[in-house]
Structure 1
Amino acid sequence: MDPTHLQTLYALSRKGLKQLGQSDLTEEVEKLLSFLPKKNGWLTSAPLYQFQNFWYPAIQLQALLNIQRNFQALDTDLVVITNPKCGTTWLKALSFAIVNRFRFHFDNPTSKQNHPLHKNNPHILVPYLEYFYMIDQNPDLTCLSFSTTRLFSTHIPHAMLPDSIKDSKCKLIYLCRDPKDTFVSFWHFSNKLRPKNTEDTSFEDAFEKFCEGVVDFGPFWDNVLGYWKMSLESPERVCFLKYEDMKKEPKIHLLKLAEFLGVPFSVEEENDGVPEEILKLCSFDNLSNLEVNKTGKIAGIGFSVYFRRGEVGDHVNHLTPEMIEHFDEITEQKFLDSGLKF
């Protein structure tokens, strides 16, 4: 894998958040949008469209259709999946460090200092599949390969995954988070990305939208449930993780993740403290203070927007008791009889 090549491709597609517009849509997608329900979005003034029960920005919907038709999964693929703002950056960093630890060692200061995560944002090293397919129906994905494995990410709901992923043996790592904390984080994130000449989404309006499911790749609860059910049916293919559990016991979940990915830590590695080195490398304090993440940009978007300390339970500092109660009622109703709890 060539990080420079990857960054170039990612930069071209990443401009979708701010620069891709109606003129970049195909005639087919423009026609489809005219029939779909739409509501005001979060990140820009552009609307979100409801397609088969989930909500997408127009250019993301175009990417989804291209992925469904043309993406060919490999049995060796590793896919990091989340709802937006559920600890995605952290999970990408951990997954990359685990899988690549035999190429980028932790046995001396020089090799540690030269690790790709010191010079590249995790979203560069584990890019979103959607961004390659926004304006290209058949993009070149060779830059995703390292050794015999491709590592990439997506926010696509389970129901919308292409058949090539569902029918393959590739492994999926899904990370979810308490919806109350997810909402607060996404509200802060969207306001940072909104153009300066547009008003921020009010907290109350955002709350209503999130509860209605009108959020990128939402409804949140349906997105989570799809992968939860798949993890119960195919535990060998889906590793279902909770952000709160990972924050509480990071090493235990790091070892679990490595085992699932087929590269478990050896006794020697554990004795040498390699898991602890990876946790330190991928920690919020370390990543957020790296120069690349403080000053680096891609398509005009600073990497720093991806770093907001995600404290468990932070929602109590933002939500009213009534809002919390409403969230909990929705969660209880949505997850009823599923066995899933936060």
Structure 2
Amino acid sequence: MSFVTTPGLEDYQEEANLALIFDKYKDKFTTFPKEKGWMTEELYKYQGFWHQSKNVVSVETVMATQDTFQALPTDIYLATLPKSGTTWLKALVFSTVNRNMYKNKPLSSHPLQTSNPHNCLPFVECEVLKTSPTYVDAYLPRLFATHMPYTSLPQSILDSRCRIVYMCRNPKDVLVSLFHFANNLRGKSQNVMTFEEAFEMFTKGVIPNGPYWDHVKGYYKIGLEQPTKIMFLTYEDMKMDTPKYLRRLAKFLGYPFTEEEEAKGKEKLETGGNI
């Protein structure tokens, strides 16, 4: 498996596949309710949630993923709303699940030292763009992330025995982070968004993959009903006591830390080193 993507033929093929997906679903999504967007000009409401259009993670790629993606029972999915600690969670899960693969190798060779966590643990919505799958057949478990609400996940994920980790973040912090992120990405044709505008849209639920509370409650409810399928985390708990919740996360994923690893981790914490 290659964790580092470089510009070239693969990028060209993904752009071509994205254009085909846009064309395939263009007549369908344009009939959906729409509102002013954050990073894109408009958001479209699909299955009760707001999505961007003509983007890598968009209403078009969500529909294409629902139509084509096939989950495996060994898969692990990380679900979040944007700006809820997605990148951090990707790095934690990737390094935990793959720790034995790199434990006897130089730290400089670890994929997280040379590549973005988004390259190491891709969004499932992006798989429909790839000419070749991210994972070869022999590589298990497959690790994917998603911003999709629970009710919009492909049926194969809902029906499988895969594990899902959901992390939510204080909505006030999500709003502030999304506000700054959106203004950094808004094109020249879009005016800078004021915080008052962002607050109004957020409270109406008009955010990418929102409404916020509907997204959170969807995963929380299923997590209560199926605790072996969904682990519900908060960004604040993870930040306050990372070792405690990382141990719980590793156990849920099926990769618990050994007594030796626990002892080494405790020693490094006591001496002020990195775990």
Do both share a fold (TM > 0.5)? yes
Instruction: Specify the SS of the correspondent of 2:106.
Output: helix
Aligned partner (choices 197, 210, 213) of residue 205 of structure 1: 197
For 2:93, the equivalent position in structure 1 comes to: 95
Cα pair distance change 1:147/1:115, threshold 3 Å: same
AA aligned opposite 2:80? T
Output the aligned Cα RMSD: 2.8
- Conserved? CA contact 1:96–1:126, under 8 Å: yes
For 1:36, the equivalent position in structure 2 comes to: 32
In the alignment, structure 1 residue 260 sits paired with structure 2 residue 252:
yes
AA aligned opposite 2:48? N
**Aligned positions of 1:107-118 closer than 5 A:** 111-118=106-113
AA aligned opposite 2:47? Q
For 1:322, the equivalent position in structure 2 comes to: none
Instruction: Specify the SS of the correspondent of 2:101.
Output: coil
Question: How far 1:11 sits from its partner (Å)?
Answer: 5.1
**Aligned positions of 1:286-301 closer than 5 A:** none
AA aligned opposite 1:25? F
Equivalent-residue separation in structure 1 for 2:163 and 2:68 (angstroms): 19
For 1:124, the equivalent position in structure 2 comes to: 119
**Aligned positions of 1:58-77 closer than 5 A:** 58-59=53-54, 60-77=58-75
Question: How far 1:270 sits from its partner (Å)?
Answer: 1.4
Q: Residue by residue, what CA displacement relative to the aligned partner does 1:276-310 show, whole Å, maximum 9, x if unpaired?
A: 69x947xxxxxxxxxxxxxxxxxxxxxxxxxxxxx
- Conserved? CA contact 1:177–1:244, under 8 Å: yes
AA aligned opposite 1:66? A
AA aligned opposite 2:73? D
- Conserved? CA contact 1:173–1:239, under 8 Å: yes
Question: How far 1:157 sits from its partner (Å)?
Answer: 0.2
Equivalent-residue separation in structure 2 for 1:146 and 1:275 (angstroms): 36
For 1:309, the equivalent position in structure 2 comes to: none
Aligned partner (choices 221, 224, 244) of residue 213 of structure 2: 221
Question: What count of residue pairs does the alignment treat as equivalent?
Answer: 268
Aligned partner (choices 143, 152, 155) of residue 163 of structure 1: 155
Equivalent-residue separation in structure 1 for 2:14 and 2:195 (angstroms): 27
Instruction: Specify the SS of the correspondent of 2:167.
Output: strand
AA aligned opposite 2:83? K
Cα pair distance change 1:276/1:113, threshold 3 Å: farther
- Conserved? CA contact 1:6–1:143, under 8 Å: no
- Conserved? CA contact 2:268–2:274, under 8 Å: yes
In the alignment, structure 1 residue 56 sits paired with structure 2 residue 51:
yes
Question: How far 1:65 sits from its partner (Å)?
Answer: 1.0
- Conserved? CA contact 1:79–1:172, under 8 Å: yes
For 1:86, the equivalent position in structure 2 comes to: 84
Instruction: Specify the SS of the correspondent of 1:269.
Output: helix
Equivalent-residue separation in structure 2 for 1:256 and 1:121 (angstroms): 25
Cα pair distance change 1:225/1:232, threshold 3 Å: same
Instruction: Specify the SS of the correspondent of 2:87.
Output: helix
For 2:183, the equivalent position in structure 1 comes to: 191
In the alignment, structure 1 residue 4 sits paired with structure 2 residue 4:
yes
- Conserved? CA contact 1:84–1:155, under 8 Å: yes
Q: Residue by residue, what CA displacement relative to the aligned partner does 1:164-221 show, whole Å, maximum 9, x if unpaired?
A: 0000001001000111111111111111112245322111111111111111100011
Question: How far 1:14 sits from its partner (Å)?
Answer: 8.3
Question: How far 1:132 sits from its partner (Å)?
Answer: 2.9
AA aligned opposite 1:33? F
Equivalent-residue separation in structure 1 for 2:139 and 2:267 (angstroms): 21
Which structure 2 segments of 5+ residues have no match? none
Q: Residue by residue, what CA displacement relative to the aligned partner does 1:216-257 show, whole Å, maximum 9, x if unpaired?
A: 100011000000011001100111000111111100000000
Q: Residue by residue, what CA displacement relative to the aligned partner does 1:27-63 show, whole Å, maximum 9, x if unpaired?
A: 4x2222332111111113x211011210111231111
- Conserved? CA contact 2:45–2:51, under 8 Å: yes
Indicate the percent of aligned positions where both proteins have the same amino acid: 41
In the alignment, structure 1 residue 25 sits paired with structure 2 residue 17:
no
Question: How far 1:7 sits from its partner (Å)?
Answer: 8.0
Give the TM-score of the pair, scaled to structure 2: 0.88
- Conserved? CA contact 2:108–2:114, under 8 Å: no
AA aligned opposite 1:96? F
Instruction: Specify the SS of the correspondent of 1:174.
Output: strand
Cα pair distance change 1:7/1:84, threshold 3 Å: farther
Instruction: Specify the SS of the correspondent of 1:273.
Output: helix
Equivalent-residue separation in structure 2 for 1:176 and 1:275 (angstroms): 30
Which structure 1 segments of 5+ residues have no match? 282-342
Give the TM-score of the pair, scaled to structure 1: 0.72
- Conserved? CA contact 2:5–2:119, under 8 Å: no
Kindly report structure 1 stretches of 4+ aligned residues shifted beyond 4 Å.
5-16, 274-277
